[in-house]
Structure 1
Amino acid sequence: MGHDIYGWNKAREEIAYARFSMGNHNAILLYGLLEAYPFYAGVSGSGKSSIFSLQQFEKALNEYKKLFNTSASLKESDCTSWDQKQILNFIQKCLATAQKEKSVEVYFG
């Protein structure tokens, strides 16, 4: 069991991935930043997906910056923990795709 969270573009290609073990409390951070608590099922995701807009990813990145007290120009190398890096990487990749396609489908497994 665990949290496998995928971002898919409109062609249904994987553009982002984050993995948290079932006991990793940091999984809830990504759910929270995406305002996706209904997809959190405790030891894993709900097995459902939803479409997230460009604005939702912009908001998630802004909330990430506030949460980790970071500057506007974020790089993965600026992060202090593996989970912090994968959360940032997931949001940035989804945001980049949403800037081109206006939305991204996110699956919570």
Structure 2
Amino acid sequence: MVGGMATDEDRERLAGQLVALPVRELVDVLRRALPHFTEEAYGMRTALTLASVTYYEDEVEPGLNVELVAWPDRDYYDGDLGMNQGLWENGHCARCDIEVVSNAKRAFCPYCGSACGLT
């Protein structure tokens, strides 16, 4: 990077590194970066988070299902990132009243930080 600005080549190289990661490692990298983009102003809090979006082509009720990607509870997993699987664990953040998804059964809501139990 020159003068703090990334070039297209820098961004392409970084994107290539991110794409090469397994899902649980990509989530962990983004867990370290995205909270830095949280803003609070005028009584509002805006956070940049990762979401999983699924489109259902159901004939009766088609539509999108959006779930926030919850960060694995690394303390519970002894510093590890949880199961080496895709985002197959689903749950609900009781505090935010939002659906969450994770690769781990024990995770934290990416918006409020509350513990979420997933199944």
TM-score under structure 1 normalisation? 0.24
**Greater share of residues in helix:** 1
- Work out which structure has the larger RCO, using CA pairs closer than 8 Å and 6 or more positions apart in sequence: 1
TM-score under structure 2 normalisation? 0.23
**Greater share of residues in strand:** 2
